[in-house]
Amino acid sequence: MIFIVIFQIAKASEYVSVLKGEDKARKQNNKINAFLLIAFLVFGLIGVWWCNDMFYGKTLFPQGAASEMGQKIDLMLYITIGVTGVVFVVTQVLLFWFAFKYQERDDNKAFYFPHNTKLELLWTTVPAIFLTVLVVFGLKYWFKMTSDAPKNAIVIEVTGHQFGWEFRYPGPDGILGKKDYKLTKGANSLGVDFSDPASLDDIHVSTTVHVPVGKPVKFVINSQDVIHDVGLSHFRMKMDAVPGIPTTMWFTPLYTTEEMKVRSGDPNFVYEISCDQMCGNGHFSMRGVIIVESDSDYKKWLSTQKSEYSTIFQTPASGADSTKATATPPVAMNDKK
């Protein structure tokens, strides 16, 4: 319906322009469009401001980054927004202002100006200098972010699968037991090799991972099936989980979950792990949670966790007795599975 009306108007305008004289109609159109272009600029810039006003609060800037590195990333984001923002406004203003100012006029003649080497050199070098600054800045942080984790970092293994996250703590011995994906079966969902003594005290939890505040945490990231991605927007970190090729990342959380509830003003605040690499139908529901807590709370929580070995090989009825479990020959365990 609207379609037909618009079409009829458009058709009529063609006849009108024939009646009025095409040249006259064209010039009138030209004026209207020149005016619209400058109006678009003005309302566009107001819109940009308005949009910023409305959505700035919903970005992660006001609550700040929750990791040391993240705060530097935010600073860098601000600087980049500043530099590009100035370029954006200047170039858009020039574009639409020129378009408006130099619209066709009968008394105006275009100025023949085919080239000017000085000007061209100017806008080759100035952007190059700005970019150098940004590159130097960026690479400095890039190397810092991707550097090896500090020695005292808490190591946690993260495994992605369709569609969820698994976490493994190394347990008291501080060493993660070996894995072989071919051992994956039934309750041994991660394919842990229990013939490796280091695996016996490892702790396996799903979906929710606990970490202490203020200490570096290192994730060793795996995938069991397709590529996933550990996305930690609050910490400004992200790393793919690639089957067959373990990756790592580390960060130091600055605020506990409780503290972030206050900082963000959201009583339901929670550090979420989003899968940031398309991984299939359930991609959007592949959610994990990080609980950042004080060191003492963390240790308390960790002490209540049973080792994966004991949960797999012992029926809850017989009670968790780790000595009994370790007494069973691990190789036989693997066979049984």
Looking at residues 215 to 234 of the shown chain, list those that interact with another protein (rule: CB under 8 A). 224-227, 229, 231, 233-234
For residue 161, the minimal CB distance to another protein (Å) is 8
Q: Report the residue from 1, 10, 317, 327 that binds another protein according to the rule CB under 8 A.
A: 10
What count of other Cβ atoms lies within 10 Å of the Cβ of residue 194?
25
Q: Which is nearer to another protein, 248 or 328 (CB)?
A: 248
101-110: list long-range contacts, CB under 8 Å, 24+ apart.
Answer: 103/30, 103/31, 103/34, 104/27, 104/30
Residue of 5, 124, 319, 323 that binds another protein (CB under 8 A): 124
Query: Which range touches another protein (CB under 8 A), out of 94-102, 290-298, 305-313, 327-335?
Result: 94-102
Report yes or no: 205 and 165 within 8 Å, Cβ to Cβ: no
Say how far apart CA 301 and CA 42 lie, in whole Å.
57
Give Cα separations from 292 to 2, 155, 168 (angstroms).
56, 15, 16
Task: Tell me the one-letter amino acid at 305.
Answer: Q
**Dihedral sign for Cα atoms in the order 257, 258, 262, 263:** negative
For another protein, which residue of 91, 206, 207, 208 counts as binding (CB under 8 A)?
A: 91
Is residue 159 within 8 A of residue 241, CB to CB? The reply is yes
Figure out which of the listed residues 71, 195, 274, 334 binds another protein, where binding follows CB under 8 A. 274
d(CA 87, CA 81) in angstroms, rounded, equals 10
How many residues contact another protein, by CB under 8 A? 118
Closer to another protein by Cβ: residue 285 or 323 = 285
Contact residue for another protein among 281, 296, 303, 318 (CB under 8 A):
281
Q: Does 6 bind another protein (CB under 8 A)?
A: yes
Q: Which stretch binds another protein (CB under 8 A): 128-136, 295-303, 311-319, 324-332?
A: 128-136
Kindly tell me which of 196 and 225 has the beta carbon lying closer to another protein. Answer: 225
Pick 96 or 313: Cβ nearer another protein: 96
- Output DSSP code: residue 253: B
3-state DSSP assignment of residue 118: helix
Kindly identify the residues of this chain, within the stretch 289-328, that bind another protein according to CB under 8 A: none
CA proximity to 309, closest of 275, 277, 334, 279: 334
Please give the residues from 42 up to 81 whose contact with another protein meets the rule CB under 8 A.
Answer: 44, 47-48, 51-52, 55-56, 58-61, 70, 73, 76-77, 80
CA 164/CA 208 separation, integer angstroms: 10
Nearer to another protein, 71 or 310 (CB): 71
Q: Looking only at residues 138 through 157 of this chain, which bind another protein when binding is defined by CB under 8 A?
A: 138-139, 141-143, 145-147
**Nearest distance, CB of residue 266 and another protein, angstroms:** 7
Positions in 239-258 near another protein (CB under 8 A): 239-240, 242-245, 247-248
- CB-count burial class (<10 Å; 0-12, 13-18, 19+) for 139: exposed
CB of 58 to another protein, least distance (A): 5
- Give min distance, CB of 150 to another protein, in A: 17
The Cα 176–Cα 225 span in angstroms is 21
* Footprint (CB under 8 A) of another protein, residues 20-39: 26, 29-30, 33-34, 36-37
* Sign of the dihedral through C-alpha 139, 145, 146, 148: positive
Among 237, 260, 290, 312, binds another protein (CB under 8 A): 237
Look up residue 220 and give its DSSP letter: E
Applying CB under 8 A, among 1, 118, 151, 182 the residue interacting with another protein is 182
> Cα 20 vs. chain centroid, distance in angstroms?
58
Closest to another protein by CB, 244 vs 319, is: 244
